[in-house]
């Protein structure tokens, strides 16, 4: 009889479970181009950390297939300019390393403004990092936005 391997939930998954937010944890490394079966690449979203000249840190969440418009994000967040936080400063700003940034964990530690691109509204589910490289969660966009107090906005480069 083979022993069932139990995958340990990430802190993000534990937070969502405790809050009663419907989600599913999966092991997938989107950085390496892995896509879970039954899903398409545009359903995988990346969590980007930026620094606004007036507001400080800001979080933008967009499909991995797209590019963020820093100009649009600056305008919508009340800044003149926003710039990506350098990778060397990422962990001390968000608490996460490159590839593990996620809106749930960031919201638990910080009150940074979070913006999710409008394209998420057309999806039943999206995939975001679960706080560890190689771990992600599948969640309904509106559930995620509600839980992390995010706004939907047009933040993609055209």
Going residue by residue through the chain, which has 158 residues, state the pLDDT in tens, using 9 for 90 and above: 555 556 689 999 999 999 999 999 998 877 677 788 889 999 999 999 999 999 999 999 999 999 999 999 999 999 999 999 999 999 999 999 999 999 999 999 999 999 999 999 999 999 999 999 999 999 999 999 999 999 999 999 99
Instruction: Specify if 6 maps to a domain.
Output: no
Instruction: Specify if 42 maps to a domain.
Output: yes
Instruction: Specify if 140 maps to a domain.
Output: yes
- For residue 8, the model assigns a pLDDT of 80
| Helices assigned H by DSSP within the chain | 11-19, 70-76, 87-94, 103-109, 141-148
Count of domains observed in the chain: 1
Q: Which domain holds residue 53?
A: 30-153
CATH number at residue 102: 3.90.960.10
pTM for this prediction: 0.93
Instruction: Specify if 21 maps to a domain.
Output: no
């Amino acid at each position: 009889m083979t022993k069932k391997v139990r995958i340990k939930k990430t802190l993000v998954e534990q937070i969502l479970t405790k809050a009663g937010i419907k989600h599913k944890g999966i092991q997938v490394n989107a950085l390496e181009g892995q896509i879970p079966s039954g899903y398409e690449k545009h359903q995988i979203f990346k969590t980007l950390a930026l620094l606004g000249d007036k507001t400080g840190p800001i979080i933008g969440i967009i499909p991995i297939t797209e590019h963020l418009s820093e100009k649009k994000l600056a305008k919508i967040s009340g800044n003149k300019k926003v710039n990506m936080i350098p990778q060397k400063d990422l962990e001390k700003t968000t608490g996460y390393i490159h590839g593990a940034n996620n809106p749930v964990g960031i919201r638990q530690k910080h009150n940074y403004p979070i913006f999710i691109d409008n394209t998420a509204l057309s999806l039943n589910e999206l995939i975001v990092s679960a706080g560890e490289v190689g771990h992600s969660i599948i969640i309904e966009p509106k559930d995620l936005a509600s839980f992390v107090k995010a706004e939907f906005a047009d933040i993609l480069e055209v």
